[in-house]
Each structure stands twice: as C-alpha cells, then as structure tokens.
Amino acid sequence: MPDYPTVYATCHCHAHRFPVFLDPSTLPKSEACCHCDVCRHSAGVPFVTCIRIPHALFPLTAPDPDNTTRSNAGDGHDTALPKGITSYRSSGHAARYFCSICGCHIAMHFCNQWFLSVGCITFPSLPEPGLQEEEMRAVDGIYKISWHQYLEDTGDGGIMKLMDDGLPRYAIRTDGALFSIRTSNAPAPTHSSDAPIKTKTGDVLTARCRCGSVRASILRPSAIPSGPGVAKRGSSDGQRWLSGHCMCTDCRLTSGYPVSSWTYVGREHLKLEGEGLVYYQSSQRAKRGFCRTCGASVMWDGGGDTVDIATALFERNEGEGVSAVEREWTWLEGGVSFAGDARDRGMKANASTGA
Ligand SMILES: [Zn+2]
Ligand SMILES: [Zn+2]
Ligand SMILES: [Zn+2]
C-alpha cells in the first residue's frame, strides 16, 4: 500500500477531504453502475457508481432498525463519526455516509466492503475541478465502468434506454441473467405534442426519498394552466413536464455520482412535505434540497417559475417501469446538460445515445 493518498474523497462544500489509499496493482478497477431501487431512492440519482477501497473511511455503525440514522452535525449526537458526516442504514447490509452540509454521498459500506462514490474522487495533482481532458485521463487510471446491475428494479430499463455503452446489463447480479430493455407498445414520445401513454398513475405524481422524510406531490401542467412554469416547461397537451439529465460539476459533487436526472415542475404544481428537507446553497443563483436523514438529492431551485425534482425519486405503480411513469409524466429533450463537465469518458460519449 502506498504511504501517500492516491486520491481524495471530496464533497461540494469542501467540509470534507478524506485521503484514500489504493493499491496501484489493483488499478484501474472494474466497477458497476447499480440501478437498484435502494440506491436510486437513497441518492436521488438514476444509478450509483462506486469503487471498492481497501480501508475504512468512517466508523461502522451497526444495523439498528429503531435508529437507522446517525449524525455528527456538531451536536455530539454520534461523536464516533467525523463532524459533519451523517450515516444512514439504507438496508440491513448497507450503510451510506454523506456530508451533513451539502448532502454529497461520499462512501458506502456494503457486505463487508468499503466503497467510495466516484463523483467524489479528486486528485492530489490536479486543481479542482481540473481541465476536462486531464481529469478524464486521471479517472481512466482509477476505474472503468464495466457493467450495469439491478436493472430489474427499474422495470423497463430506466435511464439505460438513453445510454448505449455496449456494456453487459444484468437483471440483478453478475451471476444471473442479462436484462433486456423493454419497450412499451407505444413509442416513447420525443416531442411535447406526442400523446402521453395512459397509465393508472392518475393526476398526482408522487416522489419520496428512501427514508420517506421528504415527499413531493406533483400536479400535471393542466391542473393550473395559468402557472408561469407551464408555458416554459409543460408539454403542449398540458399533461407532462420537461425533464433532462445533467453531468455538471455541481450535480456530481452534491450527489457523489456522475449523472443526475431532473424533472422541471411548475412551482404552483409542487407540494413538498416531510420534516427531512434541508437546503444547501450550491451556487450563487441556486439552492439544492436534500434529505437530512437518508441524504437523497431532492431538488434544485434557482428561484424561477419551475423547480427541478430528482426524477429518481418518482414512485411508480406496481408493475410499471420507471420509464412508464416518465413517459406519462415527463418528456425528455435530447442530450445531456453540461456533458462538458463529465469526467467518465464512456459515459460522456454515450449519455445521449438511445438503447
Ligand atoms: Zn459537503
Ligand atoms: Zn430521506
Ligand atoms: Zn447539474
């Protein structure tokens, strides 16, 4: 093991910068994108990508069904954790650790293995953020995304309908069957005038984080047709909201992961509930909201007529895929925002190609 850190784990607010020591003989690591429900709802992103690391980053918190969240926000609640870190037990065998200030998911302990979120990786030799080509080369030396897993949880493939990277897509784990992207009978609308697919979702779309401390209900544009956000980001039939994917540096460092998906909802059409929402000013013009308990990215709010809600948090009816809800409730504009900030070469190249 080298005696100097290979990389650092850094969050958006820079409250944290943990050294990570990697054995050079294990690099670059082959790692997965996980699309499971627990990852998507705990992080608020369409999939989670981490690298295995050989040492602990945080004290391990024991499974405890009555108290699944520990934090050291400076109140001494759990002094075993570094100040400004919250841990959340997202399942019996997974604990996630995120920044209490900016919400960035830094690390995860899963089945006796420590994982570092790839979006948090910074390099001792590069300024933050560095030139894109330099950063991409540095990232190439650390990990290579090699497969997708738990696509079964998305129902129909989720974001993989928009990313054709040629990598194996497993229904669950790599020792099981491959997953086939499912297309519904009706083609996915690509333009706002296309008719939405009718499902039993009804007229209120709901979203929630993993722990349920933040919940959102969203009305269709036509419910309040005079809302100023409707003309900008509602579909012409009044049924759906525009959505898109983002690879910007702010999204990466506030979530810990490479891709965020947002649905742009009229302010009058949105109702947020729950005691868990906390805000972080991520830029001069915008604040972000995340769940203080599970750390899920929930929203981006630039003060305009619409508010961005994390598409990963949408709830779907039994048997309906993620994209079935997305087709009925949202429409996508082609491409990915801020691909110029992306650091993962394969993802940058394939983020806007269809399956
Ligand atoms: Zn932070
Ligand atoms: Zn939560
Ligand atoms: Zn972004």
Q: Which domains does the chain have, with CATH numbers?
A: 7-152 (2.170.150.70), 183-345 (2.170.150.70)
Torsion angle, alpha carbons of 144, 147, 150, 156, to 10: 120
Query: Ligand 3 mean position to 96 CA, how many Å?
Result: 22
Query: Ligand 2 mean position to 316 CA, how many Å?
Result: 17
Sheet of 260-266: strand order equals 277-281, 287-291, 297-301, 306-310, 260-266, 241-246, 330-337
Q: Tokens in use for 288?
A: 């972000």
Query: Ligand 1 mean position to 86 CA, how many Å?
Result: 11
Query: Ligand 1 mean position to 128 CA, how many Å?
Result: 14
Query: Ligand 2 mean position to 24 CA, how many Å?
Result: 36
Torsion angle, alpha carbons of 49, 36, 335, 206, to 10: -130
Ligand number with the minimum distance to the CA of 260: 3
> How many whole angstroms separate alpha carbon 332 and alpha carbon 191?
8
Query: Ligand 3 mean position to 298 CA, how many Å?
Result: 13
Query: Ligand 3 mean position to 152 CA, how many Å?
Result: 26
Query: Ligand 2 mean position to 349 CA, how many Å?
Result: 32
The amino acid that residue 285 corresponds to is R
Query: Ligand 2 mean position to 105 CA, how many Å?
Result: 13
> How many whole angstroms separate alpha carbon 197 and alpha carbon 183?
12
Quick count: other Cβ atoms within 10 Å of Cβ 181? 17
Ligand number with the minimum distance to the CA of 212: 2
pLDDT for the residue 69:
75
> How many whole angstroms separate alpha carbon 303 and alpha carbon 306?
8
Query: Ligand 2 mean position to 339 CA, how many Å?
Result: 28
Query: Ligand 2 mean position to 289 CA, how many Å?
Result: 11
Query: Ligand 3 mean position to 312 CA, how many Å?
Result: 14
Ligand number with the minimum distance to the CA of 211: 2
Ligand number with the minimum distance to the CA of 120: 1
Quick count: other Cβ atoms within 10 Å of Cβ 155? 19
Ligand number with the minimum distance to the CA of 250: 3
- Give CA 61 to chain center in angstroms: 23
Query: Ligand 2 mean position to 327 CA, how many Å?
Result: 25
- DSSP-derived pairing of the beta strands 241-246 and 330-337: parallel
* CA gyration radius, the chain: 20
| Structure ipTM | 0.94
Q: Tokens in use for 265?
A: 């909802």
Query: Which mean pLDDT values do the consecutive 10-residue runs of the chain (355 residues) have?
Result: 87 96 96 95 96 92 61 73 93 92 97 95 82 89 96 84 86 91 52 45 85 95 94 90 92 96 95 96 97 97 97 77 70 78 82 52
Residue found by looking up tokens 């030139």 in the block: 131
Q: What is the mean pLDDT of the chain?
A: 86
> How many whole angstroms separate alpha carbon 36 and alpha carbon 151?
7
- Strands of 59-203 (E only): list them: 69-72, 85-91, 94-99, 105-110, 113-117, 121-122, 143-149
Taking alpha carbons only, the member of 350, 216, 347 closest to residue 274 is: 216
Query: Ligand 2 mean position to 31 CA, how many Å?
Result: 26
Ligand number with the minimum distance to the CA of 286: 3
Asked if 247 and 338 touch (Cβ cutoff 8 Å), the reply is yes
Query: Ligand 2 mean position to 214 CA, how many Å?
Result: 6
pLDDT for the residue 99:
97
Bridge partners of 205, per DSSP, are 218
Query: Ligand 3 mean position to 260 CA, how many Å?
Result: 7
Query: Ligand 2 mean position to 209 CA, how many Å?
Result: 4
pLDDT in tens, 249-267: 999 999 999 999 999 999 9
Ligand number with the minimum distance to the CA of 100: 1
Query: Ligand 1 mean position to 231 CA, how many Å?
Result: 35
- Beta-carbon neighbours within 5 Å of ion ligand 2: 209, 211, 213, 291, 293-294
Question: What is each CA distance from 331 to 101, 240, 276, in whole angstroms?
Answer: 32, 6, 28
Query: Ligand 3 mean position to 190 CA, how many Å?
Result: 21
pLDDT in tens, 321-342: 666 676 778 877 667 888 888 8
